[in-house]
């Protein structure tokens, strides 16, 4: 029995499912999760001494690679002054100013401790600002585990949401409407019926929780037009895409300005952190300036701020995103070629350093329904073949992949070769 297997058995006695976030349990692919002992650069090292080339990157934050010296040194230096103050500190001002500089739509910024907190708070703010209760989200888009966001689409565009999880009262879910991602006509129909009741649209500008699905041309622009017409708040959930697909996030790539933006992952450099911000007029409704309450014991934590500032300073250097995009394109092109050579039908999506692949004969995958129709069995087999060869992919067909600047040409070649050998075995 491997040490990972031993640890997993032990963990299940005191931790529900043996993990602290469900996808880590390998339920969707089967087998025993790999327990990681350390990480450096593009690599993870498990408790049994095996090295993996990592394409999860802690689910997105590790754009610079694991254990980057600038971030590590910033954390060590900050920790020498204390771990948490429960009071304002200079670093949180520096962080807010840096975010506002890089993402101009975020005129004011509030720090929190997770992406879920950020989206939950942004929605509360949108409701308080508009005086409306209903929100609209998209099928397959994940915005954290707040009650009103754990909702899937019912049948028909105007169907009220149904909770995905036990423990979410139907009375909460009834205020959440769902649409098909990339279906602007469906959104327009809902607004024609319910527009005056809708406080906000919340959307991942690039969907990253049904694998990686970019927006269709004019989809985000169309959401902006609809929100302007109905005086509805447009929220971009850039927890995943922020500082990942471009320095200014997906809103810079697609040239669409939201009213509010949520951030996380990269802005913590690997530490727990989140943020939301946007138009000054809206943000001034947050306490203590306004009546919409939001608070957090560890919000603006000095260690997280130090790590995040170091990360943002590093990724602000010239050509960072050009290099990251080129590396990602190189990887995708190589895997695509290998798949074609072995007659394995696949479809690929990429935006900057974020990518996804689908075992599908379809030329394009652009919504959740299409994503769920892909060959999940083939993905499971491929995942384990790659894991055996030291390639660590997300253990779910519905998660995006992430590259880092630490991935070398040799790492990419090793990954492409492993994929070719895995395709031959499918």
Are 25 and 18 within 8 A, CB to CB?
yes
Question: Which whole number is the average pLDDT over 313-320?
Answer: 97
- Least confident segment among 167-171, 221-225, 320-324, 353-357: 167-171
- Between residues 420 and 157, the one the model is more confident about: 420
pLDDT reported for residue 160 = 41
Residues taking part in catalysis = 142, 237, 265
Beta strands in 29-139 (DSSP E): 36-40, 43-46, 51-54, 108-112, 134-138
User: Which pLDDT score, from 0 to 100, does residue 153 have?
Assistant: 34
Residue 152 has pLDDT above 70, yes or no: no
pLDDT of residue 157: 32
Give yes or no for residue 274 having a pLDDT over 70.
Answer: yes
d(CA 317, CA 247): 10
Which pLDDT does position 234 carry in this prediction? 99
Q: Per-residue b/e over 145-173, b at no fewer than 16 CB within 10 Å?
A: bbbbbbbbbeeebeebbbbeeeebeeebb
Instruction: Answer yes or no: are the C-beta atoms of 262 and 274 closer than 8 Å.
Output: yes
Q: Cis link prior to 288 (omega < 30° from 0)?
A: yes
For the chain, the average pLDDT equals: 94
Lowest mean pLDDT among 108-122, 132-146, 246-260: 132-146
pLDDT number for residue 167: 74
Q: For residues 146-154, give the mean pLDDT.
A: 57
Q: For residue 173, name the pLDDT band (cuts at 50, 70, 90).
A: confident
Cβ atoms 190, 179 nearer than 8 A: yes
State the Cα–Cα distance between residues 297 and 243, nearest whole angstrom.
26
Q: How confident is the model at residue 163 (pLDDT cuts 50, 70, 90)?
A: low
Q: Which residues does 53 contact at the CB level (< 8 Å), separation at least 6? A: 42, 43, 390, 391, 392, 407, 411, 414, 415
pLDDT tens-place string over residues 371-397: 999 999 999 999 999 999 999 999 999
Question: Which domains, ranges and CATH numbers included, belong to the chain?
Answer: 3-67+318-425 (3.90.1150.10), 69-315 (3.40.640.10)
pLDDT in tens, 19-77: 999 999 999 999 999 999 999 999 999 999 999 999 999 999 999 999 999 999 999 99
**Token pair of 146 as six digits:** 């707040």
The 3-state DSSP class for residue 87 equals coil
Would you give the DSSP letter of residue 301?
A: -
Q: Report the distance separating Cα 313 and Cα 301, nearest Å.
A: 18
């Amino acid at each position: 029995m491997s040490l990972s297997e031993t640890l997993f058995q032990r963990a299940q006695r005191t931790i529900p499912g043996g993990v602290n976030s469900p996808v880590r349990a390998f339920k969707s692919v089967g087998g025993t999760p790999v327990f990681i002992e350390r990480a450096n650069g593009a690599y993870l090292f498990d408790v049994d001494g095996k090295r993996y080339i990592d394409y999860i990157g802690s689910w997105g934050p590790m754009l610079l690679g694991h254990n980057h010296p600038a971030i590590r040194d910033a954390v060590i230096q900050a920790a020498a002054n204390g771990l948490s103050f429960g009071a304002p500190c200079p670093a949180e001002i520096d962080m807010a100013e840096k975010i506002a500089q890089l993402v101009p739509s975020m005129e004011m910024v509030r720090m929190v401790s997770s992406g879920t907190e950020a989206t939950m708070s942004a929605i509360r703010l949108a409701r308080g600002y508009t005086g409306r209760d209903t929100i609209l989200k998209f099928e397959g888009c994940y915005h954290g585990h707040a009650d009103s966001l754990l909702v899937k689409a019912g049948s028909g565009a105007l169907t009220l949401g149904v909770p995905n999880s036990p423990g979410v009262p139907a009375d909460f879910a009834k205020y959440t409407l769902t649409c098909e991602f990339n279906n602007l006509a469906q959104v327009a129909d809902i607004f024609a019926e319910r527009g005056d009741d809708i406080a906000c649209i919340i959307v991942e500008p690039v969907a990253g929780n049904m694998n990686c699905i970019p927006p269709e041309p004019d989809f985000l622009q169309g959401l902006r037009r609809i929100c302007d017409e109905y005086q509805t708040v447009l929220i971009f959930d850039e927890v995943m895409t922020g500082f990942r697909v471009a320095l200014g996030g997906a809103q810079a790539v697609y040239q669409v300005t939201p009213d509010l933006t949520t951030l996380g992952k990269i802005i913590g450099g690997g530490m727990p952190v989140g943020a939301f911000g946007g138009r000054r007029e809206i943000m001034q409704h947050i306490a203590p300036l306004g009546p919409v309450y939001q608070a957090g014991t560890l919000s603006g934590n000095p260690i997280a701020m130090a790590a995040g500032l170091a990360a943002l300073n590093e990724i602000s250097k010239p050509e960072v995103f050009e290099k990251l995009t080129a590396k990602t394109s190189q990887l995708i092109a190589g895997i695509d070629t290998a798949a074609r050579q072995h007659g394995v039908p696949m479809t690929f999506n990429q935006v900057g350093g974020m990518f996804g692949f689908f075992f599908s004969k379809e030329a394009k995958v652009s919504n959740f329904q299409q994503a769920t129709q892909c060959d999940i069995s083939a993905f499971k087999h491929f995942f384990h073949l790659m894991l055996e060869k030291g390639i660590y992919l997300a253990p779910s067909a519905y998660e995006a992949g992430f590259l880092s600047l630490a991935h070398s040409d040799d790492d990419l070649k090793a990954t492409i070769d492993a994929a070719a050998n895995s395709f031959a075995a499918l």
